[in-house]
């Protein structure tokens, strides 16, 4: 079983001794309810580091009013069991008061990248993400930190924060992990009924449709986006499509699609809001 820490001071003291021994630390920040996507992050961290630290913390500052903070799935015992299976050394699971004590006022404000796509629909979300990630980096002081490409905008913002604030950590991206039918792993998938899950598969299938169009020679981003919207919207449990966008690898919108560009979507299916993206292969 991994060592469980709930206090910042205790974790810092333990990791300080390990750093003095010359150990390299890999860090996987999570909000818990671990799945195969998290396992991929942990396995790469295990391969590349002497010590693997996983944080489990549902961060309130990245949830807006009316979002799913209170009902976000939580199961620390289950997470600890998965971490044991994946040979994690340390789990850091603080409570909210430990991370945001009374009188806490400071936050990290990200740049323009935090105001588009997810940022446009969830104002302040990425400020909350950046704040907790910087706090966790300061606590753990890892050599490497692992982030999934499923949250592609988050990954790019964290890379920018680390560069702008001169934080000495290597950010390691890990590709999207999908279930056998193509649905991207997400803790929010538990919100989906079997029928809603079928509708959620329209996201992955729309990527395949877009890829087929591109392979056939279509390069007009507007036409590809329209085809994606039309395809997803015809599925019965899709309540709304927040956005469909095609960007370069740095999230700049594209008019003509090229290899390496990203198709990014956010779709509301039943009570779940799902985000996903696809790297253009042609």
Torsion of CA 253, 279, 153, 39, to 10 degrees: 180
Please state at what angle helix 36-48 crosses helix 76-85, rounded to 10 degrees: 40
Burial level of 48, CB count in 10 A (0-12/13-18/19+)? middle
Pairwise CA distance, residues 44 & 53, whole Å: 12
Is 38 among the catalytic positions? yes
- Token reading at 249: 């690898």
Which residue among 38, 125, 235, 237 is the active-site one? 38
- Token reading at 73: 């799935």
In order of 40, 146, 180, 219, 279, the CA distances from 175 in angstroms are 9, 11, 15, 24, 10
Residue 247 and residue 232 in contact, taking contact as beta carbons nearer than 8 Å:
no
Which helix (DSSP H) or strand (DSSP E) does residue 56 occupy?
strand 51-56
Half-sphere exposure of 240 (CA within 13 A, CB side): 7
- Token reading at 238: 């899709």
Among all residues, which ones are annotated catalytic?
38
């Amino acid at each position: 079983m991994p060592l469980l820490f709930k206090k910042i001071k205790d974790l810092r003291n333990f990791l300080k001794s390990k750093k003095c021994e010359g150990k390299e630390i890999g860090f996987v920040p999570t909000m818990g309810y671990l799945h195969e996507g998290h396992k991929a992050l942990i396995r790469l961290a295990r391969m590349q580091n002497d010590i693997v630290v996983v944080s489990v913390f549902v961060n309130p500052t990245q949830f807006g009013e009316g979002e799913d903070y209170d009902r976000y799935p939580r199961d620390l015992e289950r997470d600890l069991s998965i971490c044991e299976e994946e040979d994690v050394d340390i789990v850091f699971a603080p409570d909210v008061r430990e991370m945001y004590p009374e009188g806490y006022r400071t936050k990290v404000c990200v740049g323009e990248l935090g105001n588009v796509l997810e940022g446009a629909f969830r104002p302040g979300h990425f400020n909350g993400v950046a704040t907790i990630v910087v706090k966790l980096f300061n606590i753990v002081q890892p050599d490497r930190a692992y982030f999934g490409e499923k949250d592609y905008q988050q990954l790019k913002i964290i890379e920018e924060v680390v560069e702008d604030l001169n934080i000495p950590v290597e950010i390691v991206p890990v590709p999207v992990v999908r279930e056998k039918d193509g649905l991207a792993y997400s803790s929010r998938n538990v919100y989906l009924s079997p029928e809603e899950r079928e509708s959620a598969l329209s996201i992955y299938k729309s990527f395949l449709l877009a890829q087929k169009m591109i392979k056939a020679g279509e390069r007009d981003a507007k036409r590809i986006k329209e085809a994606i919207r039309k395809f997803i919207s015809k599925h019965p449990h899709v309540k709304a499509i927040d956005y469909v966008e095609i960007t370069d690898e740095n999230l700049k919108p594209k008019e003509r699609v090229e290899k390496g560009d990203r198709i990014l979507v956010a779709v509301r299916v039943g009570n779940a809001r799902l985000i996903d993206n696809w790297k253009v292969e042609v």
